[in-house]
Amino acid sequence: MVLERIARLFQAAQLLAISLAPSFAIWYLTTFSSSPLPRFESHLFHEFAITIATLIGGFVSYVSWRSYRESGEVFLRWLTVGFLAFTLIYAPHGLLTRTAHHNIWLFLLFGPVSRLVMLSCMAYGLAQYGKAAEDVKAVSASGFWRKVLIVCGVAVAAVAILANSPLAPSPWVRMPMETAAALLCLGGLAVMVRRRITSPLMKYYGVALLLFAQAALGFMLAKPWDHLWWLAHAIFAVGFSVVGWGVISALLTTKSFASAFSQEQLMRALEQEKELLDSLNRELWAERQLARTTLDALPDHVCVIDESGTILAVNGSWREFHEANNGDLAFCGVGANYLEVCEQAEGAQSEGARAVAAGIRAVLDGSQDGFSMEYTCDAPGEARWFLMNVRRAESAGGVRVVIAHQNISQRKEAELRLRHLAMNDGLTGIANRRAFDETLGQEWRRASRAGTPLSLLMIDVDHFKAYNDHYGHQAGDECLKAVAATLAATAKRPADLVARYGGEEFGVILPSSTLADAQALAEKMRLAIARLELPHEASQTEKTVTISIGVSCLNLAESPGALPRNGLDTQILIAHADNALYRAKTTGRNRVTAQAAA
């Protein structure tokens, strides 16, 4: 905005005017005061002022060092060195005040030397401004601070020697020091302008340099104890206070001159953060609405629980399911405890419900990430299957568990239909060859472990090709259906399996049946088929449909626990039954022949 630009320009002009005010005071004092300038020689006041300055210098040095130790900013290290050197070298200026009548230079030279050393360090630090933070411990370990103290001691000794030498009264001693101090300040300002160093605290650093330069000018024009001399001290003190204020501000904020913020910047940053926060809140609300809409659109019944098991949220499908099934939402809605409901369940589903609760607790304590299980939940007149998926999730409020119940009744019905198609013969409706092979392998292993007998019947419809040729394939299919139904009705035990082995051949698996038992059942089957009296004019055996049966039995009662050899032994049992069937067919058909496998 235009107003903000004008306000900033006005603010900068005000700051510059305040910074240059000492020059006006110097001009006024040198122009309108009597010559020579009035003097104020008070040793006690001077000692008091220098004591205060020394204490402040020591405090500011310590604060600057603490900020440097926290931030590692190279600029702050040299600022600390400047403050410390000024304090140590300037202190004798106050201590030797009362020697002014005996050796004015011993008293006087400590001032310009301390200021020159401080400004030299500040100028060098300005050249390091913006560099990456350094390793503070490594600097200390290198003996840097010990070297600083030694240099300060050497400087104090050098000033004492110079003050007692014939060179001390020469203007070429003090004046070059003040000139160098002023040039260092002006050079520092030029560097700041050229590098566009405009961070908030560095603006005040620039003000301090401008004040120090004017103080040096005052010292060059003044004589000891006159009013201009005191004014120069005051100007320098103000500059020192400004830079000291910046150091303390750094300590109280970011511990760094470079990264400190002005009030305006902070307010602008706060406004930006507020705008960002408002934007994020709007986005969060929109995302939560999207999540809620997505959750409600899911056909699965979904709820979210916390670590205690309390339901925090449910979707529309969850509510609709419980309302449709007369469920009480007080026990399964938001606020209810899902774990307690499961653990307190009664009836046929209680065992499964407690298993679910145990699984959810394992997910909550991190033992597992999640689990799935299928369960039945029948309605009156309807068989229903559900798939439960439980997954762990982390949130800002703690661990959450998402529970989804998917109705898989149609899928289970389809699976049952597919299994029926896969395991049953399409023509006769009894078990097919695949079911026969699987069941025989299972019963073989069970008989081997338990040491129980296992019998097998292999059945063939006599002269069936001739039947097809004479009556046609459709009649042949009807014949096979009738034979299959009769065989299945005769094998009445649940464990018995009647299967279509292939073509007109059938197989019957009889677990826990001895050879004699199997022969007896086989004879019943033969007679049952004969009683059907299905016409068979093309048969060379009888004028009705007949069957031949081969019986085989494996009895492991004498060696239980002998596991089969990966299906080879089942083939032996089938081979023995086939051999028995072959003998039945070659010896006249319509009969039962047995052959033990073991």
Positions annotated as catalytic residues are: 504
581 to each of 415, 460, 486, 497, 576, how far by Cα in Å?
A: 37, 8, 19, 18, 9
- DSSP assigned state of 107: H
Query: What are all long-range contacts of 149-156, with beta carbons under 8 Å and residues at least 24 apart?
Result: 149/88, 151/85, 152/84, 152/85, 152/88, 152/89, 152/117, 153/88, 155/85, 155/89, 155/113, 155/117, 156/88, 156/89, 156/92, 156/110
* Residues recorded for the chain: 598
Using CA atoms, how far residue 472 sits from 92, 502, 529, in Å, is: 134, 19, 20
What is the separation, in whole angstroms, between the first and last Cα of the chain? Answer: 105
Distance CA(26)–CA(365), nearest Å, equals 78
Count of alpha carbons within 13 angstroms of residue 312, beta-carbon side? 15
Q: Which residues are CB-contacts of 134 (< 8 A; sequence separation ≥ 6)?
A: 72, 74, 77
Q: In the structure encoding, which two tokens stand for residue 173, read together?
A: 């001693």
How far is the CA of 51 from the CAs of 47, 95, 412, 505, in angstroms?
A: 6, 9, 95, 122
CB contact at 8 A, 121 and 77: no
Record the tokens describing residue 301, joined without a space: 């019944």
What region, left, alpha or beta, does residue 588 occupy, with left being phi > 0 and alpha being psi -120 to 50 degrees? left
**Two tokens at 206?**
């620039």
From CA 122, how far away is CA 186, in angstroms rounded?
12
Rounded Cα distance between 27 and 231, Å, is 12
Q: Cα separations (Å) of 194 from 188, 190, 502?
A: 10, 6, 100
User: Is the four-CA dihedral 133, 138, 142, 144 of positive or negative sign?
Assistant: positive
Q: Residue 449 and residue 560: Cα distance in Å, rounded?
A: 6
Q: What is the C-alpha separation between 27 and 270, in angstroms, rounded?
A: 45
